[in-house]
Chains A and B, each alone.
Chain A
Amino acid sequence: MLFNKMNKFFLLAALLFAASANAQVDFDEIEVEVLKVRDNIFMLVGSGGNITVQVGDEGVLIIDTQYAQLSDKILAKIGELSDKPLRYIINTHHHGDHVGGNATLKAAGFTPSGGNVGGDLGDAGEGARILAHENVLLHMAADEAVSTDMWPTMTYFTEKKDIYFNGEGIRVLHQPDAHTDGDSIIFFRKSDVITSGDAYITSFYPYIDMPSGGTLQGFIDAANSIIDLIIPVYGQDGGTLVIPGHGRLSDIGDVLNWREMLTIIRDRIYDMKDRGMSLEEVLAARPTRDYDPRWAGEGIFSTENFVTAAYMTLD
């Protein structure tokens, strides 16, 4: 009962925060900037989640699409990086700051079709493909505000989905119950780059989207998955690079610090819960007070939201 009430609270809080954040952004003032990550991998920063761009002879693959209002600027930046067609869009999860531009960017792209595919599916060649975990489609389909042309056109429901594009293997790995129940991290095996979506960010405390299946332990598991994939260079400044959902380009050191914080906070809250402390008592005990100056944000990123969701999702 309490869990259901809290879920409704979180859903409402998330919707209100997203609406107010969107309303506060003057998209005309936003510049989309490009950071080169590796030879053919770039990070686009604007408003909303970071976008990953992979370019090559076969075309362009992007991960996440920010807001629809920025799509023209995003397309212009992609055009500066490659004159090839946009072929793939991968969504790390279903939130509006990561999928808002899906429809426009998809329409600007292209999927080769022919043979049986062309004959059976009339629109198979219209626009780029959108790949995501099946739960992303389910969440988007359940939201009447999301138009069907934003929906993923390829989904997977297993642990991983592999594609080979622009000369490298790209592994899409499901991270269950982290930020949401549909999170994917994407590993570019040749470029040695991981895109984490919001399963790892450097800006604020994680937003545990409980109504969408998010849990604190899922975040920790995702961090461990990312660390398992990383091979650092000697000195640990570099090696495998990580493009986070929000914030700065990272490597193992940043992800280790993130995991350390989440694990220590989990252990503290778990210990308090195990000793019979109520949520109110845990909040009053301030189990995150040593991390708050660095990680506390506002709204869904606030300490109260984070601790509450952590408490609610720890068994």
Chain B
Amino acid sequence: MGRFYCRISHSVSLSVSLSVSLVLCFSIASFPAYAEKNMSGVWVGNYSEDFPDRLPGPELGDYGGLPINDADRLRAQSWSASLIALPEYQCRVHPSDYASSFANIRIWDEHDPISEELTAVRIQHFAWQTRRTIWMDGREHPPEYAAHTSMGFSTGEWAGHQLKVTTTHLKEGWLRRNGVTRSDQATVTEYFIRHDNILNWTVIIDDPVYFDEPFIRNRDYIYSIDNQIANYPCDPVVEMVRESGYIPHHLPGENTDMLIYSNRHDIPLEGAMGGAMTMYPEYMQRLLELPKPSELDDQ
């Protein structure tokens, strides 16, 4: 691992040779032969054509490009945005596998104070100041009966210069902020790859409950020397008086909101409803063959 301990001689006079030795000593100590990359610092999300989805948020009824199965589609179609007006839902945090969707992050390392071995990588996300730990000390994942959390339980290892992270023990969360669910049985694999001042963060979500294929999200971040992560208070309040235990949702077949995205952009409803096939470029051809909402209106 390139650990280097320097011992300074107690000889009375500093000879030229000792000076050279010290220079060599500090030089080598400054450049230890670690395989891992240093990713510490504040990283700013690099937005492009996906800005509307990542910051303002997705439109209602846009499940396109997501490998969801029929069960997850019905859950999304049953979802009502009024749910997040309930006090107990207002301060639910973004799960760790959603965090790369938007906003800035801070990364820092934790090292054993004696050996200087990397023991953990910590990541703080802007939203709700969520903090997660990626354990680098080789520990096992806990048993299934241990608590699941929004951040999950993460362990990391170096694959060359890539930090590979495996996360289990996630609570049920969301894949998109419009009701598309990711189950609590999912396993997430992430790769953090630093190229100078660019950080590439790849998230691969394998959900045996709701996905037909793994979902892959890839985001770029830019290293920032003049940003910090602000605080993010959240105090739930009663926004409207409702009957205790009331859960807003749409009964099957009664959700007209799910047509909003398709109609607004004149995209065939099948494409908007997602599914593994909608992730692939060849699906563009099928989209061209399907009737658009405007064409259906004309009939």
Binding site for B on A (CB under 8 A): 33, 35, 43, 45, 50, 220-221, 224, 227, 232, 234-238, 241, 247-254, 256-257, 259-260, 263-264, 267-268, 271, 287, 289-294
- B143: chain A residues within 8 A (beta carbon): 33, 35, 45
Q: Is the CB of A271 within 8 A of B251?
A: yes
**B36 interfacial contact with A, CB 8 Å:** no
- Once A256-B89, A264-B249 are accepted as A-B contacts, the answer to whether A248 and B210 lie under 8 Å apart by CB is no
Counting chain B residues whose Cβ lies within 8 A of the other chain, the interface size class is 35 or more
Residue ranges of B at the interface with A (Cβ–Cβ < 8 Å): 69-75, 78, 83, 88-89, 91-93, 128-130, 143-151, 171-172, 183-185, 209-210, 234, 244-245, 247, 249, 251-252
CB of B251 within 8 A of CB of A224, answer no
Q: In the complex, what residue of chain B is closest to A257 when comparing beta carbons?
A: B172
Total cross-chain contacts (CB, 8 A): 100
A220 to chain B, nearest CB (A): 6
Which residues on the A side are within 8 Å of B252 (C-beta)?
268, 287
Q: Give the residue of B149, B209, B244, B247 whose beta carbon is less than 8 angstroms from that of A264.
A: B247
Q: Is the interface of B mostly helix, strand, loop or mixed?
A: loop
Which residues of A have CB within 8 Å of B149?
237-238
Quick check: B249 and A267 within 8 Å, CB to CB? yes
Distance between B86 CB and nearest chain A CB, rounded to angstroms? 9
Cβ contacts under 8 Å, B73 to chain A: 290
Q: Is the CB of A294 within 8 A of B171?
A: no
Choose among B83, B92, B244, B251 the residue that contacts A236 (Cβ–Cβ < 8 A). B92
Contact between B71 and A292, CB atoms less than 8 A apart: yes
Report B-chain residues with C-beta under 8 Å of the C-beta of A292.
71
Q: Are A293 and B145 in contact (CB under 8 A)?
A: no
Minimum Cβ distance to chain A for residue B234 (Å): 7
B93 with A236: CB separation less than 8 A: yes
B145 in contact with A247 (CB, 8 Å): yes
Chain A residues with Cβ under 8 A from B130's Cβ? 235
Q: Cβ of B183: which chain A residues have Cβ within 8 Å of it?
A: 293-294
Complex formed: what's the CA distance from A252 to B148 in Å? 11
Q: What CA separation (Å) do A271 and B73 show in the bound complex?
A: 21
Residues of B within 8 A of A290 (CB): 71-75, 78
Q: How far is the CB of A172 from chain B (nearest CB, A)?
A: 22
